[in-house]
């Protein structure tokens, strides 16, 4: 059983809010990781890329427990056990998560031990367990342990004077069972060894002791093999890996704090030791030790996951950059750079004459950097305004903003401090920008600023002109090479005016603003989306062709799902390309038989959001930072922008929608019961949306 109930729907219900019409959002989110794991099993994928997909599925599962499971636990603890739109009580959801997570974990370790390790070994990439070390390797590893590892360890024997220590979230730990007495006459029973973050989790053997081009040993193996050197005089009876996952959701009552940055900093200091939600132990860990760990972490048997391999499987990804085997990786590519936007040309002249569309990662993010670089140094530029959600360390973008402020330009940056897992980096970013004279604001209390906007105000003769960049993704150079996103550069006067108004709203106070071209959450985006769905319903009811195509990361807003059901029942054809969680059940007779939901999982993480409405032969196409989720539509500040240039709109339709609907190699179809099945291409030629765009746009 997967995401929610699976009772058959015999007749079209009049009540489209019935729980059996909806999949569970948490289980639907968990299901995405099975599609990622399938990439690790795909023999068509380069071998090291398969290993990377395995690690992604493992790290995704970590985050799932840190956030989604943790929030469910909080709801139950606080007595808020209300079911979601699918009708499942939180306790039932946790039980189903347990069942499905066990399947995922079992699958991950089977892929690791039965498929990837043997295949990598054939290619000269070996992971040596303790029983496979030869004498020379053992001597070298013992020396490495004594010189590089032992000096930074602080083993802890457990007794009344040394109680169970605080264990950091997702850290590697070894439980050691001891026999004997120390110099003080203390009897040894059990000790803990915490692996410091400074130590590499995988150690590469040097050529002089290697029997293959690339041989690695897990740090955990060294800690277990040489445990007796940490406890001289004791006999080591056994040693076992374990890891605990903790709640990583920050809880700050924004309305009750005077300084959000200070409050978040205080929360970050203790996040690594928040409430535990999962315990991972080695498969061979004795019951007595597992019981002791459960008692200390206040967890139950339902929270324990036994691992048939390293408990920190996601850390295997560190070898990707250490193994110099291009033939085992995706072919490198060079993102295309628009010749008109290369360094040396005048970006403002180009954008002033025509809109520019950027499709990342196939087209270079450097064009955005060049816009900001020129804005920082151009004496005619008076002001720069930008939103930053995730940026990345050492980003040249920050240098350009600092340079602009030091050049006397008015620079305002909206930094979203509550970007999950980037809070600390964003606090440092905000402090650095403020030190350079940039006006930094943190958005609006209670609403994350998730919009991706850059505004440049430039004097041209007797007038001021606005230049804008809007995007579906973050201003992050690294992820621009890994995520698919769409960006628009434009000098369209009404779009520029709208963006300016949104920035004014973010940095100041005032009533709801009226926008001419943009749709904005939490005000007009939801309403505008629902109106356009209703418009397609009206067209269908009048006998006219009606269609909706949307590409988003997730869909779980119940009223949007209900509206799509009504659209299907009215005759509207609906195609949804949803990367992750989708709570809509497609293909139900009489309800959603005209709705098709597909998910594409490939080399790049699908991140673009595109909405297309047929509109009786006058189609509308929007790009957005918002998914069709309650949080995006109701509780965040998002923007949705139209592609007004008909040529560019057609290009977005062809590249980001039609291209993905034609994918028959990396696409999955969502079934009414919540399961996904691979698209079968039959005798059709193979078509990969991502490879098609690489061939078309990139070098």
Question: Residue 682: which pLDDT band, with cuts at 50, 70 and 90?
Answer: confident
Which residue did the predictor score with more confidence, 598 or 424?
Answer: 598
Which option is the CATH number for 123-328: 2.40.128.520, 3.40.50.12500, 3.30.1840.10, 3.90.1150.10?
3.30.1840.10
Q: How far is CA 543 from CA 362, 398, 538, 539, 575, in A?
A: 40, 54, 9, 7, 19
Residue with tokens 């490198």: 332
Q: What is the CATH number of domain 520-697?
A: 3.30.870.10
- Burial level of 468, CB count in 10 A (0-12/13-18/19+)? buried
Which residues of 62-170 form beta strands (DSSP E)? 125-127, 156-157
How large is the C-alpha radius of gyration of the chain? Answer: 27
Indicate whether 5 pLDDT > 60. no
Which one, of 444, 623, 584, 607, lies nearest residue 523 by Cα?
444
* pLDDT of amino acid 256: 45
* pLDDT of amino acid 9: 41
Other Cβ atoms within 10 Å of 327 Cβ, number: 9
Residue with tokens 């040894």: 188
Which one, of 645, 631, 686, lies nearest residue 662 by Cα?
686
Indicate whether 426 pLDDT > 80. no
Task: Judge if 339-516 and 520-697 fold alike in CATH terms.
Answer: yes
284-328 confidence digits (pLDDT tens):
999 999 999 999 999 999 999 999 999 999 999 999 999 999 999
CATH architecture of 339-516: 2-Layer Sandwich (3.30)
Question: Residue 540: which pLDDT band, with cuts at 50, 70 and 90?
Answer: very high
Distance in angstroms (rounded) separating the CA atoms of residues 152 and 156: 13
Question: Residue 259: which pLDDT band, with cuts at 50, 70 and 90?
Answer: low
Query: For a pLDDT cut of 70, what percent of the chain falls above it?
Result: 92
596-626 confidence digits (pLDDT tens):
999 999 999 999 999 999 999 999 999 999 9
Q: Catalogue the active-site residues.
A: 450
Question: Residue 267: which pLDDT band, with cuts at 50, 70 and 90?
Answer: low
Mean pLDDT for the stretch of residues 338-346: 77
Mean pLDDT for the stretch of residues 391-405: 87
Q: What contacts 107, CB < 8 A, 6 or more positions away?
A: 34, 37
- β 636-642/448-449 pair status: parallel
455, 440 contact by CB (below 8 A): no
Beta bridge partners of 491: none
Distance in angstroms (rounded) separating the CA atoms of residues 627 and 610: 9
Distance in angstroms (rounded) separating the CA atoms of residues 33 and 9: 28
In terms of pTM, does the model score above 0.75?
A: yes
Which residues of 356-495 form beta strands (DSSP E)? 356-360, 381-388, 410-415, 439-441, 448-449, 453-460, 463-471, 483-490
26-35, 387-396, 406-415: segment of lowest average pLDDT? 387-396
Indicate whether 13 pLDDT > 60. no
Indicate whether 393 pLDDT > 90. no
Q: Please tell me whether residue 450 adopts helix, strand or coil conformation.
A: coil
Q: Where are the domains of the chain?
A: 123-328, 339-516, 520-697
132-190 confidence digits (pLDDT tens):
999 999 999 999 999 999 999 999 887 655 678 889 999 999 999 988 775 545 555 78
Indicate whether 684 pLDDT > 80. yes
192-207 confidence digits (pLDDT tens):
999 999 999 999 999 9
Intra-chain end-to-end CA distance of the chain, in Å: 44
Distance in angstroms (rounded) separating the CA atoms of residues 190 and 174: 10
Mean pLDDT for the stretch of residues 253-267: 53
Q: What contacts 277, CB < 8 A, 6 or more positions away?
A: 65, 66, 69, 70, 73, 245, 246, 247, 299, 303
Question: Residue 264: which pLDDT band, with cuts at 50, 70 and 90?
Answer: low
Distance in angstroms (rounded) separating the CA atoms of residues 110 and 308: 8
Q: Token digits for 269?
A: 């200091």
Beta bridge partners of 45: none
- Burial level of 616, CB count in 10 A (0-12/13-18/19+)? middle
Which one, of 108, 112, 193, 210, lies nearest residue 155 by Cα?
193
Burial track 485-499 (b if 16+ CB lie within 10 A, e otherwise): bbbbbbbbeebbebb
Tell how far CA 310 is from the center of its chain.
23
**Length of the chain (residues):** 699
């Amino acid at each position: 059983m997967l995401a929610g109930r699976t009772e058959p729907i015999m007749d079209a219900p009049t009540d489209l809010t019935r729980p059996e019409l909806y999949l569970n959002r948490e289980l639907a989110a968990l299901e995405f990781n099975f599609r990622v794991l399938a990439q690790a099993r795909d023999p068509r994928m380069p071998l090291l890329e398969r290993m990377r997909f395995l690690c992604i599925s493992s790290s995704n599962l970590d985050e799932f427990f840190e956030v989604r499971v943790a929030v469910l636990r909080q709801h139950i603890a606080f007595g808020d056990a209300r079911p979601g739109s699918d009708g499942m009580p939180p306790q039932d959801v946790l039980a189903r998560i347990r069942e499905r997570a066990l399947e995922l974990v079992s699958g991950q370790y089977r892929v690791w031990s039965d498929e990837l390790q043997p295949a990598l070994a054939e290619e000269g990439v070996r992971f040596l367990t303790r029983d496979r070390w030869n004498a020379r390797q053992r001597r070298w590893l013992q020396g490495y342990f004594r010189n590089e590892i032992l000096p930074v360890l602080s083993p802890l024997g457990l007794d009344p004077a040394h109680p169970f220590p605080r264990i950091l979230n997702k850290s590697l730990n070894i439980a050691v069972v001891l026999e004997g007495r120390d110099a003080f006459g203390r009897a040894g029973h059990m000790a803990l060894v915490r692996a410091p973050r400074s130590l590499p989790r995988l150690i590469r053997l040097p050529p002089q002791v290697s029997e293959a081009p690339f041989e690695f040993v897990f740090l955990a193996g060294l800690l277990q093999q040489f445990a007796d050197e940490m406890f001289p005089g004791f006999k080591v009876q056994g040693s076992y890996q374990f890891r605990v996952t903790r709640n990583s959701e920050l809880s700050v009552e924004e309305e009750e704090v005077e300084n959000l940055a200070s409050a978040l900093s205080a929360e970050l200091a203790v996040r690594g030791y928040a409430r535990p939600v999962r315990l991972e132990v080695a498969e061979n860990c004795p019951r007595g030790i597992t019981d002791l760990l459960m008692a200390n972490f206040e967890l139950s048997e339902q929270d324990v996951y036994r691992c048939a391999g390293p408990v920190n499987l996601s850390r295997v990804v560190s070898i990707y950059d250490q193994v110099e085997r291009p033939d085992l990786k995706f072919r490198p590519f060079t993102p295309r750079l628009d010749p008109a936007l290369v360094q040396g040309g005048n970006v403002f002249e180009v954008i002033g004459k025509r809109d520019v569309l950027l499709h990342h990662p196939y087209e270079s993010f450097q064009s955005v950097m060049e816009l900001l670089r020129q804005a920082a140094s151009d004496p005619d530029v008076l002001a720069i305004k930008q939103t930053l959600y995730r940026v990345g360390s050492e980003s040249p973008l920050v240098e350009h903003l600092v340079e602009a402020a030091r050049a006397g330009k008015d620079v305002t940056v909206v930094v979203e401090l509550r970007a999950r897992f980037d809070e600390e980096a964003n606090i440092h970013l905000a402090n650095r920008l403020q030190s350079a004279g940039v006006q930094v604001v943190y958005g609006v209390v209670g609403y994350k600023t998730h919009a991706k906007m850059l505004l440049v105000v430039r004097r041209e003769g007797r007038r001021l002109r606005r230049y804008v960049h809007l995007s579906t993704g973050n201003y992050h150079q690294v992820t621009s090479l890994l995520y698919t996103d769409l960006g628009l550069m434009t000098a369209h006067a009404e779009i520029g005016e709208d963006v300016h108004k949104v920035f004014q709203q973010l940095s100041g106070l005032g009533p709801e603003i009226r926008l001419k071209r943009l749709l904005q959450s939490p005000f007009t985006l939801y309403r505008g989306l629902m109106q356009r769905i209703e418009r397609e319903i009206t067209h269908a009811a009048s006998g006219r062709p009606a269609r909706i195509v949307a590409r988003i990361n997730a869909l779980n807003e119940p009223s949007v799902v209900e509206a799509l059901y009504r659209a299907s029942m009215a005759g509207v054809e609906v195609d949804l390309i949803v990367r992750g969680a989708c709570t809509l059940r497609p293909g139900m007779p009489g309800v959603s038989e005209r709705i098709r939901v597909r998910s594409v999982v490939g080399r790049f993480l699908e991140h673009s959001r595109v909405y297309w409405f047929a509109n009786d032969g006058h189609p509308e196409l929007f790009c957005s930072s918002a998914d069709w989720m309650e949080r995006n539509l109701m509780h965040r500040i998002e923007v949705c922008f139209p592609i007004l240039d008909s040529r560019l709109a057609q290009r977005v339709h062809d590249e980001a929608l039609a291209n993905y609907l034609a994918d028959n190699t990396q696409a999955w179809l969502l079934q009414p019961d919540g399961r996904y099945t691979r698209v079968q291409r039959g005798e059709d030629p193979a078509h990969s949306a991502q490879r098609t765009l690489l061939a078309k746009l990139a070098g």
